[in-house]
Amino acid sequence: MKLLQDKIMQEGIALSDQVLKVDAFLNHQVDPVLMAEIGKEFAARFRAERITKVLTIESSGIAPAVMTALELKVPVIYARKRKSLTLREDLYTEKVYSFTKQEESEVSVSKKFLFAGERILIIDDFLANGEAAFGLARIIEQAGATVSGIGIVIEKAFQPGGDKLAAAGYRVESLARIASLGEGSIVFADERQHQSV
């Protein structure tokens, strides 16, 4: 998605060869015009999947997920992250380990909002190792619902998440794919638009 690539080139900062800082438009300050375009793009790509709900994870997935759900005219749920839980019986819960942050969090969604037979689109801001997306997929599968697609705003293609999700049979669409990062350099890879087989 050219608009997103241009924004990353203008306002993204490669903090190291591993981490891209995009707090000017996605992770802290949010650009609503860009988010609206991202929502339209994901909706166009996944409309044929007859999505019934969008699922993301707090906090930075919420903006693109809401704009996508607005276009698809379906509700959006954001999974909550918390260290300890008191009301487990009303929640679908999965552990998610972040290699980037080196911490494990417990991710949960209320059973009130996710049902068997639903067709769920996962949206997230970043894809690195795929742990968050796999955790959300396990929650969807716990509910007896279907993962109908995974939409990622920025995929770090030099990390294994995208390939692992595709190998597991999920349809992954990333709007920007980063091939490599270096001091002062951001190199894009071709977009991922593969279909599960």
Residues found near ligand G4P in the complex (CB under 6 A): 19-22, 27, 57, 59-61, 98-101, 125-132, 156, 161
130 annotated to bind ligand: yes
C-alpha to C-alpha distance for 20 and 33, rounded to whole angstroms: 21
C-alpha to C-alpha distance for 5 and 176, rounded to whole angstroms: 6
Contact (CB, 8 A) for 91 and 109: yes
**Those residues with Cβ within 8 angstroms of residue 38's Cβ, 6 or more apart along the chain or in another chain:** 1, 4, 64, 67, 68, 153, 175
Smallest gap from residue 47 Cβ to ligand G4P (A): 25
Cα–Cα nearest to 196, from 152, 144, 151, 148: 148
Cβ closer to ligand G4P: 47 or 82?
82
Smallest gap from residue 183 Cβ to ligand G4P (A): 14
141 annotated to bind ligand: no
Cβ closer to ligand G4P: 52 or 68?
68
14 annotated to bind ligand: no
Per the annotation, binding residues for 5-phospho-alpha-D-ribose 1-diphosphate are 128-132
Per the annotation, binding residues for xanthine are 20, 27, 156
